[in-house]
Structure 1
């Protein structure tokens, strides 16, 4: 599904191993987060999923002299599971592929994942069989850890989605956005997921759509310092580009403040500042 990303993923993995090696003594919370992350990663690999990204938020932030609680997210895919959901609503790609976050919050280690009910409510999905398959796969992955689904109280259709439109085609928009993101010196590029190509390889057809994955360890670490659970949805940052109904492209991404409100009932100045920065940056790139 992501053959073109292999070298970048190897480089990112090497970076993470270097960061982990440089930590002489891990706290009990860090050890617990590392252990649950390792269990999840092992099950994911054994089950044959494609690991798109494995991101250690806290250690990446620490490398930029920013402190935050331990937090590690796994993003992994199965085109056979994703394709029916994307046919139902291509915007659901913003919450695909699978995501599971191991993190420490208020003195304890936790595991949270994005479940099918979250996708159903946020994107108005109606394909029950596809959603059940999605949750079955997640249950298989999380069966050996104590995990809970992300909250849906207060969640509504299109909740926390910032949307931009462009006259650029999907390929043009992706190229411009990628160049812009890669040009920022405080940002790490984690890769992309070409949903339509992956679905085609699985024998399915979905609208043209590409998910871009990237993040800023320093600003992200500041934003997650008191809100580590938002590492599930808001970091790394996910940018979905898909074909518009009347030509051009549509770009959607997560409102960081909205997800802080969803998980914690409150947001902070760094969340709003990042929303403003991202919106301005992407708007300029799509001109």
Structure 2
């Protein structure tokens, strides 16, 4: 379990090092509330939640401590399938993942930009799909952090 956790942390650290590939938004809510809000938005959309990963709880299970961090994994086959048809390697980054985490500045929500996804794979034939995905991610995460 510890090896798995260490691997996850290394993967997250490697991704975070390329922050220019990320869309990051501050949240006025704590991590759990932000993640709950996003989950509700996903449930009300054409997308489906695949998994919710609470990294802080996993760390506690390994007798380790870390700040709150939750990943929501979700997708919409109507958007993801054309990308995987254009380049099957895109399946490595699909379904989409959104990270909600806490740092010294507060809670944040972030995800790999659609442009970064397009650069990783040969998705020139799926520009319309990528634009729809970009708009959906922006809208969903904006709603998750919107103050009521």
Tell whether the 8 Å contact from 2:31 to 2:102 is kept in structure 1 after alignment.
yes
Three-state SS of the structure 1 residue aligned to 2:74 is: strand
SS at 1:104's partner residue?
strand
Residues 154-184 of structure 1 deviation map (CA, whole Å, 9 limit, x = unaligned): xxxxxxxxxxxxxxxxxxxxxxxxxxxxxxx
Aligned to 1:115: 113
Query: Which residue does the alignment assign to 1:134?
Result: 133
* Counterpart in the other structure of 2:12: none
Equivalent residue number for residue 22 of structure 2: none
Partner residue in 1 for 2:41: 43
Structure 1 residue aligned with 2:65 = 67
TM-score normalised by the chain length of structure 1: 0.39
Moved segments of 4+, more than 3 Å: none
Residue 57 (structure 1) aligned to one of 55, 58, 66 = 55
**Equivalent residues, number:** 118
Provide the secondary structure at the position in 2 that maps to 1:54.
strand
Distance 1:43 1:106, change over 3 A: same
1:102 equivalent among 100, 103, 106: 100
Q: Deviations over 1:183-240 (max 9, x none)?
A: xxxxxxxxxxxxxxxxxxxxxxxxxxxxxxxxxxxxxxxxxxxxxxxxxxxxxxxxxx
CA contact (8 A) 2:86 2:123 kept: yes
How far apart are the structure 2 equivalents of 1:111 and 1:139? 11
Displacement of 1:106 in angstroms is: 2.8
Equivalent position of 2:91 in the other structure: 93
1:208-247 equivalences under 5 Å are none
* CA drift at 1:104: 1.0
- Whichever structure has more helix as a proportion of its residues is 2
Larger Rg over CA atoms: 1
**What residue ranges of structure 1 are gaps of 5+ in the alignment?**
1-30, 148-287
Cα shift at 1:140: 2.7
RMSD: 1.9
In structure 2, the gaps of 5 or more residues are 1-28
